[in-house]
């Protein structure tokens, strides 16, 4: 089971993503904005972050930049969810700011997101 942090300013999106991912066996926490997310990341352990690109207080790009500038989180996989087609093209080309591990266009294709999460998370090994 992977620990995933879902960051989105829309409560309905947070709830939907949390339900879908929990249904696939992942533990999910949520945050509604960048500052809350950075605090949760600093005080928790996450295997993957799903990050909304357009948020108040801090954009997803600003959150990703903060994560990449901290050696503890420089390699933390981050998937950006965005309606910004230009950002998505850059992410797919590997030229997006912060080098996200993946990008999913909004409205979110849940099947694509679940496949991406599965590819980016490693199941816990049996003890």
User: What domains appear along the chain, each with residue ranges and CATH number?
Assistant: 3-120 (3.40.50.2300)
Q: What percent of the chain has pLDDT over 70?
A: 95
pLDDT recorded at residue 62: 94
Q: Higher model confidence: residue 83 or residue 63?
A: 63
Tell me the percentage of the chain whose pLDDT exceeds 90: 75
**Rounded distance between C-alpha atoms, residue 37 and residue 88, angstroms:** 22
Q: Roughly what angle, to the nearest 10 degrees, separates helices 34-43 and 60-68?
A: 30
Over 110-124, what HEC string results?
A: HHHHHHHHHHHCCCC
pLDDT in tens, 27-41: 999 999 999 999 999
74 pLDDT more than 80:
yes
Report the Cα–Cα distance between both ends of the chain, in Å, rounded. 13
Quick: pLDDT tens for 87-113: 777 777 777 777 899 899 999 999 999
How many C-beta atoms surround the C-beta of residue 41 within 10 A? 22
């Amino acid at each position: 089971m992977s620990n995933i942090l879902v960051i989105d300013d829309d409560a309905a999106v947070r709830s939907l993503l949390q339900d879908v991912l929990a249904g696939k066996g992942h533990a999910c926490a949520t945050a509604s904005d960048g500052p809350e997310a950075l605090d949760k990341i600093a005080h928790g352990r996450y295997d993957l972050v799903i990050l909304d690109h357009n948020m108040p207080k801090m954009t997803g790009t600003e959150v990703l930049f903060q994560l990449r500038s901290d050696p503890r989180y420089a390699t933390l996989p981050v998937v950006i969810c965005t309606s910004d087609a230009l950002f998505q093209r850059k992410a797919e080309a590997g030229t997006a700011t912060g080098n996200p591990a993946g990008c999913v266009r909004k409205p979110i294709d849940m099947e694509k997101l679940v496949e991406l999460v599965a590819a980016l998370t490693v199941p816990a090994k049996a003890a």
